[in-house]
Amino acid sequence: MAIRCEPKRSRRESRPAGPFLLSMDSALKRVRLPFRKAVRAQEVTFFLSQLSLMIEVGTSLSVALKAIAQQTINPVFRDILRSLHRDVEEGKQFSAAMRSHPKVFDEVFVSMVKAGETGGFLKKILDQMVEMQEKRQALIAQVRTTLTYPTVLCVVAFLVVTFILVGVLPKFTTFFEGKESILPFTTRFLMFLSKSLREYAWVHLLVLAATAGCLKVFLDSEAGRTLIDRLSVRGPIIAKIYNKISTCQLLRTLGNLMESRVPLLEALEVNRPTVRNRYFRQYLDKIAENIRQGGDFSKPFASNPYILPSVKQMVATGEEVGNLPKVMLRLAEFYDTEVDRELKTLASLIEPLALIVLGVVVGLIVSSVILPMFKLSQVIQ
């Protein structure tokens, strides 16, 4: 009788994975570690551009998603694209697959893709989405450019003042000791601040950290978010630019959605979750409610006091002639120019103002040290 000899299996191979290990393994695959790189807007734009090009040359959606996923470097985004590919392979619509990743593809993107799938013009929709993303990124870059210079200048000013108080002023302290009665108030205050920073630096750091923490907690609270939203739409200087930026994004989003044959009311409802400012959301709700009751778009749209009268008239005209999407997109281009011009004007005002403030602070410190020395030398003579 022949004897069958089977290779001896190791203990790890002979023991199948239990349900606990399998559930742990699947859970670990779903967990996003904090040090993993998030998906950037530029990566989404590049993905949409690649997908549009591959569809244009006749590549199927499934093959295009698989190919783009293989070329993606960001592991987080690569996993998302692989998930999209699996969902499409299983028969899901591309828009439904995108809806599973709301942090990367918002409701506006999903609705536009769904309209493109339904109407058979997905490639055109992808091109519109790329244009929207590029406009949005250009606006964000312009805002950052405007704020970068004053931010850097404030940091440099803080470091310079700290260095003077900690490294330079103490060398004059011995010269001023015993003569506090004839020193000006600014000099005495700087001497006290310098001594406090050198001897109780940890207290200052602790107070600074506690202040920053309390400020963050307040800004994350309901009252803090309400205050920020109110200042954004009603505060001096910032409200004018903020309302133009918000209106520009609203018109561009609604214009693209309506051009994709999405009804106006549905476009407003889709756009609402992407608006963070509560007062601007209330403005959208007012427009949506008026349309829901059989009204038009232009009348509640004109209720915003920060919108230019010429823009209100153009929207009303576009609605009357039945060409509202085209008018919205043209107005979005107009607002792009207006916002860019105002941001450049604001930057040209902030830069000299920041330099003046820095000069005044440094000049005050220097005068508080030099002038008392001249005064004391005259007293000695």
Terminal CA-to-CA distance of the chain, rounded, Å? 125
SS3 313: helix
Token look-up 């609705």 returns 111
- Residue 107's closest CA among 238, 230, 324, 275? 275
Contact in structure between 65 and 81 (CB atoms under 8 Å):
yes
Mention the CATH class of domain 132-381: mainly alpha
| DSSP-assigned states of every residue in 129-165 | HHHHHHHHHHHHHHHHHHHHHHHHHHHHHHHHHHHII
Token look-up 């549905």 returns 266
Per-residue pLDDT of the chain (381 residues; tens, 9 = 90+): 444 444 444 444 434 444 433 333 343 333 333 334 588 888 888 988 898 898 888 888 889 998 998 988 889 999 999 999 999 888 888 888 888 888 888 888 888 888 888 777 888 888 888 888 888 888 888 888 888 877 888 888 888 888 888 887 777 776 766 666 667 777 778 888 888 888 888 888 899 899 999 998 988 888 888 888 888 888 877 888 888 888 888 888 888 888 878 888 888 888 887 788 888 888 888 888 888 888 888 888 888 777 778 888 888 888 888 888 888 888 888 888 888 888 888 877 877 887 788 788 778 877 777 777 776 666 555
Token look-up 């902030």 returns 350
How many other CB atoms are found less than 10 A from the CB of residue 373? 13
| DSSP-assigned states of every residue in 344-371 | HHHHHHHHHHHHHHHHHHHHHHHHHHHH
How many other CB atoms are found less than 10 A from the CB of residue 178? 7
Q: What is the DSSP letter of 102?
A: T
Task: Tell me the residue type at 261.
Answer: R
Contact in structure between 362 and 160 (CB atoms under 8 Å):
yes
By the 10 Å C-beta count (0-12 exposed, 13-18 middle, 19+ buried), 110 is classed as: buried
For residue 130, what are its two tokens?
A: 């790329």
User: Could you report the per-residue pLDDT of 104-136, keeping only the tens digit for each?
Assistant: 888 888 888 888 887 778 888 888 888 888 888
Buried b (16+ CB within 10 A) or exposed e, 140-176: eebeeebeeebeebeeebeeebeebbeeebeebeeeb
Q: Which residues of the chain does CATH 1.20.81.30 include?
A: 38-105, 132-381
Q: Which residues, 6 or more positions from 90, have their beta carbon under 8 angstroms from its beta carbon?
A: none
> Is domain 38-105 given the CATH code 1.10.40.60 in the classification?
no
User: Could you report the per-residue pLDDT of 254-293, keeping only the tens digit for each?
Assistant: 888 888 788 888 888 888 877 888 888 888 888 888 888 8
How many other CB atoms are found less than 10 A from the CB of residue 105? 23
